[in-house]
Homo-oligomer: A and B are copies of this chain.
């Protein structure tokens, strides 16, 4: 499916250790750069309490002249007041100076501990150093993906290429996220890059479409962080022909694919998780209603613990759907787990419970399919289960 992760034409990247984290072998700074003005779109956390980088970057996207995003891990620069705002702006100024561009064309993300001020000396040295290490290689792309990790156990990157009127166009993305931990806000961040030519408006619309189907369809514990950010840079370096409806649709599919792959990678890396759960809600009146039901199921502690226990517990799943707020009656609901129909039109079926439970125990991937009789809308959502290990990870860390 996916190529070896590489950067689209006109993009370079780098990742280094600059000194925010104590372990010198762990990267804590990365930079993604377009060599020319790119259409830049951003989608940000809906948390009312958001980090300084979110406040700043929100003002700078969408724009036609995006050049770079600088990201540090180990410190979220959130809940840091006016000094935090100044630090975020300063990071973009330092980056712009190193790149020889306008600070307004640089956006910024920070992820890690909240409530601590950024160490300017480490960043000043680091930004100068990282700008000199920018490269277009897969290795540089991987280093950059590592530079944004917090509690992630693996770097998350992907690439898709497609043909637009005879020209090869690439979409590449890096992401980080593995739930929230400690006073660290292990936020979800992603940078999507393409050498396709998109107007800022198109970039914005296409990114929002994708995010609705990817990063807005995952949940580890339902906690919306202060720093969630997704950027799309589209720099046109591929030099393809003008877009038509067909190629535009192909580009949308490509960005949907890379963002969904990144979203799923975050869930696959969810802290302490034993199972990767795909929730399909079908036959809903609207996509919003389907999403609302899927999220209620995904966030249900009783659903998650049942999956941990390999228990095909339709009562907990149907009940979670029932409290989602969406109007429904029992006899409008059917439920499949791992493609086995266990609840049909409001009544439990006769099925091989032991066999289904064994399949849940043997496989990391679990499929939950809730079928309604309301309409044609559907949604696909991904989540993890809830294990004692998750509780241990998130309770044993103390300030």
Q: Which residues of A contact B (CB under 8 A)?
A: 46-50, 78-79, 81, 114-115, 180, 182-183, 185, 221-226, 299-302, 305-306, 308-316, 318-331, 333, 343, 346-348, 353, 357, 386-388, 390-392, 394-399
Look across to chain B and name the residue whose beta carbon is closest to the beta carbon of A114. B315
A39 to chain B, nearest CB (A): 29
Residues of B within 8 A of A347 (CB): 79, 81
- Complex CA gap A55/B182 in Å reads 44
- Complex CA gap A315/B329 in Å reads 40
Q: Is the CB of B115 within 8 A of A315?
A: yes
- Complex CA gap A79/B327 in Å reads 16
A sample of 20 cross-chain residue pairs with beta-carbon separation below 8 angstroms, ordered by A number, consists of A48-B327, A49-B321, A49-B328, A78-B315, A79-B330, A81-B330, A115-B314, A115-B348, A183-B316, A221-B300, A223-B301, A223-B302, A226-B322, A301-B386, A305-B394, A306-B395, A308-B395, A309-B395, A357-B398, A391-B391
Q: Is the CB of A302 within 8 A of B180?
A: yes
Look across to chain B and name the residue whose beta carbon is closest to the beta carbon of A396. B309
- Complex CA gap A308/B324 in Å reads 27
A351 to chain B, nearest CB (A): 11
Q: Is the CB of A185 within 8 A of B394?
A: no
Residues of B within 8 A of A310 (CB): 398
Q: Is the CB of B223 within 8 A of A328?
A: no
Q: Is the CB of A391 within 8 A of B311?
A: no
On whether A326 and B388 interact (CB within 8 A), knowing A301-B394, A311-B398, A319-B223, the answer reads: no
Partner of A79, one of B81, B182, B299, B348: B348
Residues of B within 8 A of A399 (CB): 311-313, 353, 357
On whether A318 and B392 interact (CB within 8 A), knowing A300-B223, A329-B48, A357-B398, the answer reads: no
Which of A183, A308, A326 is the most central at the interface, judged by chain B CB atoms within 10 Å of its CB?
A183
Q: Is the CB of A49 within 8 A of B318?
A: yes
Look across to chain B and name the residue whose beta carbon is closest to the beta carbon of A327. B48
Q: Is the CB of A309 within 8 A of B394?
A: yes
Partner of A323, one of B46, B312, B333, B353: B46
Look across to chain B and name the residue whose beta carbon is closest to the beta carbon of A394. B305
Residues of B within 8 A of A327 (CB): 48
Q: Is the CB of A183 within 8 A of B315?
A: yes
- Complex CA gap A88/B81 in Å reads 59
Q: Is the CB of B311 within 8 A of A79?
A: no
Q: Is the CB of B79 within 8 A of A48?
A: no
Residues of B within 8 A of A79 (CB): 315, 318, 330, 343, 346-348
Q: Is the CB of B49 within 8 A of A322?
A: yes
Residues of B within 8 A of A226 (CB): 319, 322
On whether A319 and B395 interact (CB within 8 A), knowing A81-B347, A331-B81, the answer reads: no
